[in-house]
Amino acid sequence: MVTDEHLDPAEPSSAVLEELERLCVDLAVAAARLIRDERPQQVGVAATKTTDTDVVTIMDQRSEELLHRLIRGARPDDGILGEEGADVLGTSGLTWVIDPIDGTVNYLYEIPAYAVSVAVVTGDARTEGGWRALAGAVADPSRELVHHARRGGGAWTVPESAPAPGSPTRARRLAVSTEERLGRSLLATGFGYDADVRARQAEVLRSVLPQVRDIRRIGSAALDLVRVADGSVDAYAESGLNAWDLAAGWVIVEEAGGVVLGRRGHRPGKALTVAAGPALVQPVQALFDPATQ
Ligand code: LIP
């Protein structure tokens, strides 16, 4: 099993972490402005991926191109891994893991719940369980907010127009909900694009629904994780996530006092990702993890 010690051979100094966090914020805000301010009247589907409903828009592509260019300019030795195909092997040991639009279906339908997720990770970003995020930012263009964290620095929300990390006046520090009772918990979740996977996820929800207050399907995993971090949902669980869906949100949840788990004995990822406050996270894991049933 990969442990955190294996993933952190040499943790960067706090000054470097702060610089990386600041860059995460700047990059996420730049892409957020692009997809909001240059959104065409008709967005249109540029391509499909795993299924006919797993779409890529021209703005996913433009956003990833922008992030790619800015990262190459600022940190030429780092790697890049992006949802729409960016794949650069770096030499520094750091990799930028980017989702240029998380919540693409919401973006396509003009539902204001989509995000840009930017994280910088150590370890092997291409191997599930092989990496650990050092800093991350999730920009929410519809609300003109950016949520961000770095290891040891707390989790924060700032307005897009004043995104300097630690800005004393306008930053809001995030903290997970203190709800401990499963039956009172508002649980965010999401579904994959594949019909068979969705059928299995619906089956799991049959047993979950009677045991929680209610569920929410927001449509952006990155925003679901931010909602756990700011306490506006109590927990989140989903299977099928990729590194770019969860890298930034994971560090934000942990810095807000939460815990992110996978299936029992595994790191978070495709099989399962669960996020909640410390008292709630294992009960929620048990609802979704067949290994605990
Ligand atoms: C999507 C998520 C959504 C999840 C989907 C998908 P995309 O990302 O964030 O919440 O349920 O399975 O992964 O495709 O919009 O970047």
Question: Alpha helix (H) ranges present in 75-218?
Answer: 104-108, 195-208
What is residue 54's predicted lDDT score, i.e. its pLDDT?
Answer: 83
Query: Which of 123, 148, 173 marks a domain boundary?
Result: 173
Residue 168: pLDDT band (50, 70, 90) is low
Mean pLDDT of the chain: 92
Q: Are residues 206 and 186 in the same domain?
A: yes
Is the minimum distance from the CB of 163 to ligand 1 under 6 angstroms?
no
- Tell me which residue range forms the domain holding 72: 14-173
Residue 115 near residue 228 (C-beta atoms within 8 A): no
pLDDT at 274 over 70: yes
Q: Are residues 101 and 233 in the same domain?
A: no
Residue 15: pLDDT band (50, 70, 90) is very high
What is residue 46's predicted lDDT score, i.e. its pLDDT?
Answer: 84
Q: Which two tokens stand for residue 228?
A: 């756990």
Probe ligand 1: pick from 245, 246, 272, max atoms within 8 Å of CB? 245
Q: What distance in Å separates the CA atoms of residue 87 and residue 103, rounded to the nearest whole number?
A: 21
What is residue 9's predicted lDDT score, i.e. its pLDDT?
Answer: 53
Amino acid residing at 109: Y
Global pTM?
0.94
What is residue 293's predicted lDDT score, i.e. its pLDDT?
Answer: 61
Q: Are residues 143 and 24 in the same domain?
A: yes
Q: Are residues 140 and 186 in the same domain?
A: no
Ligand 1 atom nearest residue 238's Cα: 11
Average pLDDT estimate for 39-59: 86
Does residue 125 lie within any of the structural domains?
A: yes
Dihedral angle of Cα 129, 270, 264, 116, to the nearest 10 degrees = 70
Does residue 3 lie within any of the structural domains?
A: no
Q: Are residues 128 and 188 in the same domain?
A: no
Q: What distance in Å separates the CA atoms of residue 244 and residue 87, rounded to the nearest whole number?
A: 12
Give the Å distance between the CA of 242 and the centre of ligand 1. Answer: 9
Residue 143: pLDDT band (50, 70, 90) is very high
Does residue 255 lie within any of the structural domains?
A: yes
Ligand 1 atom nearest residue 193's Cα: 12
For the chain, what is the domain count? 2
Dihedral angle of Cα 119, 120, 124, 125, to the nearest 10 degrees = 20
Average pLDDT estimate for 84-99: 94
More confident residue, 14 or 54: 14
Q: What distance in Å separates the CA atoms of residue 215 and residue 283, rounded to the nearest whole number?
A: 15
